[in-house]
């Protein structure tokens, strides 16, 4: 079965400021453990895919940084978007490249900033989902994660009626129609979703046929489809970078969820549990690394008195000392310090937005 993995590595990671910045985005940083998020993702995928079947999609502004992260990957497997135009453009542009080499392949999209605890189950799930798509090539499959707590920062998928089942390595996986997508809920709603049993976290882990998925742009995103038709004959031609950039720049910024997935009817979802988390904000980092709710998670030098439940990162080597501090995020770098309650970690994005509007503060971005 020909499966291509597309690692999406063009994001900015604003909620992990002040460590993640414009020129050093989170996927190129060792946020979890000693490896950068991108290197950890590549190492995970490499255990189940040949290098020639792995592609990394990134933005022009991050090209050199991202290439340096995975120097062993063939140069032609780096797909560089001329402009940032969100995930619908990024995925479509990557599929356009793959289609010229192998239009009959299947693909899976992988975010470069996700954490996975059980790599064996993760890869087995991908094989199972790919088998389901191979059996129904006019459908797109999603992986849904069984919720373990009421997360308000994720989107959710509600499962519908059973569609089919596949067996991989002796384990059965059930596929369901997608009943609906739900945006990030409030806490009370998220708690209800956890007890309901029919809602899954949506990690935007997509599996489909390259040719079929590209046809969905004609149906749901005709401007993208027309632009891709213009771009296709220019992909391998020299001295056409300005033309490709001009064409790409006319694309509207649309997410793949809003642009295609939420509009498409031929979708199914397979529930899975392999210890997934989106490393999207500092609370998620602490939750991944903490042994229990009262543990301090520390990187760098720290001394604490009557302190617990904190995430404390010192990247400059300074000692961080705390007394009577609980459930806080404290991130220290050479030129900035972030302090916020653990349950306000999502608001770091608002801090970055505020700095973007103030020219005096833009140097910290």
3-state SS, residue 154: coil
Our measurement of the distance from residue 60's CA atom to the centroid of its chain's CA atoms, rounded to an integer in Å, reads 18
Q: Where are the beta strands (DSSP E) in the chain?
A: 3-8, 54-59, 78-81, 106-111, 114-116, 140-145, 156-168, 171-182, 199-209, 267-272, 276-278, 297-299, 302-305, 311-314, 320-323, 328-332, 337-341
DSSP 267: E
Task: State residue 61's pLDDT score.
Answer: 87
**CATH classification code of 3-280:** 3.90.550.10
Check: CB of residue 59 under 8 Å from CB of residue 144.
Answer: no
Please give the helix or strand (H or E) that residue 69 lies within, else none: helix 63-69
Residues of the chain with CATH 3.90.550.10: 3-280
Of the candidates 205, 217, 186, 364, which has an alpha carbon nearest to the alpha carbon of residue 278? Answer: 205
pLDDT per residue, tens digit, the chain (365 aa), is 589 999 999 887 889 999 999 888 999 999 998 899 999 999 999 999 999 999 999 998 899 999 999 999 999 999 999 988 999 999 999 999 999 999 899 999 999 999 999 999 999 999 999 999 999 999 999 999 999 888 888 999 999 999 999 999 999 999 999 999 998 899 999 999 999 999 999 999 999 999 999 999 999 999 999 999 999 999 988 888 899 999 999 999 999 999 999 999 999 999 999 999 999 899 999 999 998 888 899 999 999 999 999 999 999 999 999 999 999 999 999 999 999 999 899 899 999 999 999 999 999 99
């Amino acid at each position: 079965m020909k499966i291509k993995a597309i690692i999406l590595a063009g994001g900015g990671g604003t909620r992990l400021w002040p460590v993640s910045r414009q020129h050093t985005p989170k996927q190129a940083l060792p946020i979890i453990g000693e490896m950068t998020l991108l290197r950890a993702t590549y190492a995970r995928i490499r255990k189940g895919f040949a290098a020639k079947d792995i592609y990394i999609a990134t933005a022009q502004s991050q090209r050199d940084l991202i290439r340096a992260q995975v120097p062993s990957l063939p140069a032609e497997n780096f797909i560089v978007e001329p402009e940032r135009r969100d995930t619908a453009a990024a995925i479509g542009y990557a599929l356009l490249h793959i289609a010229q080499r192998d239009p009959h392949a299947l693909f899976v999209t992988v975010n470069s900033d996700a954490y996975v605890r059980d790599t064996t189950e993760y890869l087995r799930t991908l094989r199972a989902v790919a088998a389901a798509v191979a059996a129904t090539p006019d459908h797109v499959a999603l992986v849904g994660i069984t919720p373990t707590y009421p997360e308000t920062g994720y989107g959710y998928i509600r499962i519908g009626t059973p569609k089919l089942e596949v067996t991989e390595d002796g384990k059965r996986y059930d596929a369901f129609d997608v009943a609906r997508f739900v945006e990030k809920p409030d806490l009370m709603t998220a708690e209800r979703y956890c007890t309901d049993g029919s809602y899954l976290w949506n990690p935007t882990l997509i599996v489909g046929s390259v040719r079929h998925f590209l046809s969905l742009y004609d149906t749901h995103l005709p401007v993208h489809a027309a632009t891709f038709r213009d771009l296709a004959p220019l992909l391998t031609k020299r001295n056409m970078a300005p033309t490709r950039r001009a064409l790409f720049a006319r694309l509207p910024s649309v997410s793949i969820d809003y642009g295609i997935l939420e509009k498409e009817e031929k979708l199914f979802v397979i529930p899975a549990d392999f210890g997934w988390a989106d490393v999207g904000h500092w609370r998620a980092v602490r939750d991944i690394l903490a042994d229990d709710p009262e543990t301090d998670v520390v990187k760098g030098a720290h001394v604490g008195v009557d302190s617990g439940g904190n995430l404390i990162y010192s990247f400059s080597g300074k000692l961080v000392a705390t007394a009577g501090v609980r459930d806080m995020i404290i991130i220290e770098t050479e030129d900035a310090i972030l302090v916020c309650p653990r349950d306000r970690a999502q608001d770091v994005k608002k801090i970055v937005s505020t700095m973007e509007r103030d020219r005096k503060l833009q140097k910290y971005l």
